[in-house]
Amino acid sequence: MVNYFSTRGGGGPVSASEAVLKGLAEDGGLFFPDHIPALTKSLKELSEMSYQDVAYEVMQPFLSDYTEEELRTCIRNAYDSKFDTETIAPLACADGAYYLELFHGATIAFKDMALSILPHLMITAAGKNHIKYDIVILTATSGDTGKAALAGFAGVKGTKIIVFYPKNGVSPIQEKQMVTQKGDNTFVVGIHGNFDDAQSGVKKIFADQELGKLMADNGYQFSSANSINIGRLVPQAVYYVYAYAQLLKEGKLAEGEPMNVVVPTGNFGNILAAYFAKNMGLPIAKLICASNENRVLFDFFRTGVYDRNRDFVLTSSPSMDILISSNLERLIYLIAGSDAEKNKELMMQLSTSGKYEITPEMQEKLQDFYGGYASEAETAETIASLYKKCGYVIDTHTAVASCVYRKYKEQTKDETKTVIASTASPYKFTRSVMSAIDRQYDGLEDFALADKLSELSGVKIPEAIEGIRTAPVLHDTVCEKDGMADIVKKYLGI
Ligand SMILES: *Cc1c(COP(=O)(O)O)cnc(C)c1O
């Protein structure tokens, strides 16, 4: 049985289903399992399983108050024909690395991996805990979470979803995907500010007790679909196990042979899930954390100082344009020896002065991690050279990871087999991708670019892009960053 505690020590323990429902702990901390369970099946056994069955084996120990029937139903409803491949997360080999394609879901980015299942985990949790309230999902997005959450929750009975995104901080395709979202229970708002403003605004609304009471009086309860929800973290551990199992099955890895993972990182959710998989017993050697020019994590791994006091850079990998990596708090808690007081102190420093420094003992525990970053020019160069060498086209986020991996290998001469998390389809960031391949495409409009990309890569344009070519804009609200709570009240009629 796994129960969950806040990383800041307040309250708890709560069951997995309660943690999924609450999203964030009441003291502002994140839920953390009281222990990280071990894999219950051997790697050999896992290598013979479907994605769905591996998902059950990895998630069940974390979600221990869900019955087998409940969890298998959630998995079945999530990983179905919304994905355009039966293997859900296929591997492609290019230039000596394995690209784990996490973009075959409804919105062609890796957020689908977790957000296809979160609504089902939540609704099941509401039933288990006899919740009578309607669940209101409040989400800040740097582009991809928003659409994936909208797609996951649209039309789900007993839920409403409100998404805030930085008005000038997402790609045109990302914006179009969100503002064309159908479903009476969906709301999309642009804010005048960056992603961190949106995220802080949402956190403030969650912490507003008066508003919470007003919500309850009107039959509503907030929850979060952001990557701090344990119901998002746990499904993300699955594909690392699945990738290893596939490589084992194909004879590319021997049982127990270590592999490295490279993860293009923003909020630190994806790479933390890989760390959970490692702690469950998956033979992961290095966890390579790849940042773009917002290299706050690169600096952190190098110096032990986390410092968000710096200019925020808008890059071609906007889903990683983040200066406060929320999920890092879980790693800090862990390396502080599960000391909630110590963690809380550091998080308080972060919110008051924008920085903190970990102790040398804590830093010692980060040996499994390697931080790297790629500049904008390097990112573009990586896309172009991989295309020219292998005909394989990757998106800007994946290119950051690919570039960092190349630099890592040059520096360390480490030849361990390596899986690179490929977090978005190149069709989601067509303009930057095509411009990286050849500036001659810069004059084309978005959909003409997509047609050209299809020609170059031989990959069919995904339905997620085809579908919005002609779709009408259904959401056009924009607000100031301190007007977010008022918008929420307006939408809920409270
Ligand atoms: C969200 C996202 C990331 C960053 O993942 P985190 O879990 O926030 O570190 C990377 N690439 C893409 C395409 C994303 O959407």
Q: Is 449 near ligand 1, meaning CB less than 6 Å away?
A: no
pLDDT for res 132: 86
pLDDT for res 352: 96
pLDDT for res 420: 99
Work out the pLDDT band at 90, boundaries 50, 70, 90.
very high
Q: What is the DSSP string of 140-155?
A: E-SSHHHHHHHHHHTT
- Alpha-carbon distance of 12 to 78, in angstroms, equals 29
pLDDT for res 410: 98
**Entry pTM:** 0.93
Answer whether residue 293 shows pLDDT above 80: yes
Can you say how many angstroms the Cα of residue 155 is from the centroid of all Cα atoms in its chain? 22
- How confident is the model over 20-42, as pLDDT tens digits? 998 889 898 999 999 999 999 99
Beta sheet of 369-373, edge-to-edge order: 91-94, 97-101, 418-422, 259-264, 284-291, 369-373
- How confident is the model over 252-284, as pLDDT tens digits? 999 999 999 999 999 999 999 999 999 999 999
Q: Is 397 near ligand 1, meaning CB less than 6 Å away?
A: yes
Q: Which of 22, 44, 82, 111 is catalytic?
A: 111
Helix axes 230-249, 118-128, angle to 10 degrees: 130
Work out the pLDDT band at 156, boundaries 50, 70, 90.
confident
pLDDT for res 395: 98
Work out the pLDDT band at 12, boundaries 50, 70, 90.
confident
- How confident is the model over 108-118, as pLDDT tens digits? 999 999 999 99
| C-alpha 243 to ligand 1 mean position (Å) | 18
For the chain, list the domains and their CATH numbers: 91-108+231-466 (3.40.50.1100)
Closest ligand 1 atom to residue 142 Cα is 1
Answer whether residue 225 shows pLDDT above 90: no
